[in-house]
Amino acid sequence: MLYASTPAHEKRRLFRERLAAGELLRFPGAFNPLSAKLIQDKGFEGVYISGAVISADLGLPDIGLTTLTEVATRAQQIARMTELPALVDADTGFGEPMNVARTVQTLEDAGVAGLHIEDQVNPKRCGHLDGKAVVDEDTAIKRIRAAADARRDPNLLIMARTDIRGIDGLQAAIDRSKQLVDAGADAIFPEAMTSLEEFEAVRNAVDVPILANMTEFGKSELFTNEQLANVGVNIVIYPVSLLRLAMGAAERGLDTLVAGGTLQPEVGSMQTRARLYELLDYEAYNSFDSSIYNFKVQS
């Protein structure tokens, strides 16, 4: 009921513990706090908070238009609704290294377990698009160093994302990943890897956890959990997937309504009122006042 009971520092500690255990941790992207509850209910290990989703949710493209305040607000709303660790996309860190430091402290206060900062220039774009540009080595290193130094909870996971693979190739991604680990990154997000062999090459080059981005309509094939675990990937994200599924369903529903003037044919595919109330733990609110949940719901 209300918010999750696990304090943020405890979520971070448990996240670190599970990462150290070496299992593949699955983080679907929550497009809102309610979907974070669903992700937890289905037994996943964590929740991803995607910059692309926050932008799309606001009706904007993912080109660095969102502000730290907007991202931190959404991250807090999502993170507090789940016992699971939340990993948030901090894009390029919202400015210079000193801004990156403030970004880290603000997101730490928002209760996330980890965040990633990428080496793209601004305006940035989706890592799976062509025509990206990255900052030089020195700037990329300064961002990560500032991030690592800024956290107050040593268990807050600072992940460095590099977008260089799509520009200068795999070897450049390996070199930069190593530099970012030396700069203090706790984990590496090699963006837009094209094959399992590429993930494996990054895995073998660094001594920290690595993340695979299984975004649809991108550069990577949608590898299975087993395939990713076999090449030593530690975290897999499905950043925009739930939003795409929900928007696909919403569009089909609206088409049905336009065509037939009623949503009756769609009711069978909707989440029921009973299931929604179950996810919201509606009945538990009777502990405040026994007249809150004193009705029967049709399922």
Ligand X SMILES: C[C@](O)(C(=O)O)[C@H](CC(=O)O)C(=O)O
Give the catalytic positions in this structure: 48, 62, 89, 91, 116, 118, 126, 161, 191, 213
Query: Does an H or E element contain 57, and which?
Result: helix 51-57
Binders of ligand X: how many residues, by CB under 6 A? 13
Here the tokens at position 246 are 């929900």
Residue 12 belongs to what H/E stretch? helix 8-21
Q: What are phi and psi of 214, to 5 degrees?
A: -95, 60
Q: Which does 155 bind (CB under 5 to 8 A by kind): Mg ion, ligand X, none?
A: none
The DSSP H or E segment spanning 227 is: helix 225-230
Contact 29, 62 (CB under 8 A): no
Structure tokens at 231: 């090449």
51 binds Mg ion (CB under 5 A): yes
- Binding residues for Mg ion, rule CB under 5 A, total 3
Choose from Mg ion, ligand X, none: what does 215 bind? Cβ within 5-8 Å by kind.
ligand X
| Residue 128 touching ligand X (CB under 6 A) | yes
- Give the number of C-alpha atoms closer than 13 A to the C-alpha of residue 169, restricted to the C-beta side: 1
Residue 166 sits in the site that holds ligand X (CB under 6 A): no
CB of 92 to ligand X, least distance (A): 11
Which of Mg ion, ligand X, none does 49 bind, CB closer than 5 to 8 A by kind?
none
Nearer to ligand X, 148 or 212 (CB): 212
- Is residue 179 near ligand X by the rule CB under 6 A? no
Nearer to ligand X, 24 or 297 (CB): 24
DSSP of 143-210, one letter per residue?
HHHHHHHH-SSTTSEEEEEE-THHHH-HHHHHHHHHHHHHTT-SEEEETT--SHHHHHHHHHH-SS-B
- x/- binding map, residues 16-55, to ligand X, per CB under 6 A? ----------------------------------xxx---
Which partner, ligand X, Mg ion, none, binds residue 239 by CB below 5 to 8 Å per kind? ligand X
Site stretch for ligand X (CB under 6 A), options 94-102, 145-153, 212-220, 226-234: 212-220
Rule CB under 6 A: is residue 62 a binding residue for ligand X? yes
Cα–Cα distance measured from residue 208 to residue 234, given in angstroms and rounded to the nearest whole number:
9
Question: Is 78 near ligand X (CB under 6 A)?
Answer: no
Asked if residue 89 binds ligand X (CB under 6 A), the reply is yes
Q: Which is nearer to ligand X, 64 or 292 (CB)?
A: 64
Q: What would you report as the CA-atom Rg of the chain, rounded to the nearest whole angstrom?
A: 20
Judged on CB neighbours under 10 Å (0-12, 13-18, 19+), 105 is: middle
Give contact residues for ligand X (rule: CB under 6 A). 50-52, 62, 89, 126-128, 213, 215, 218, 239-240
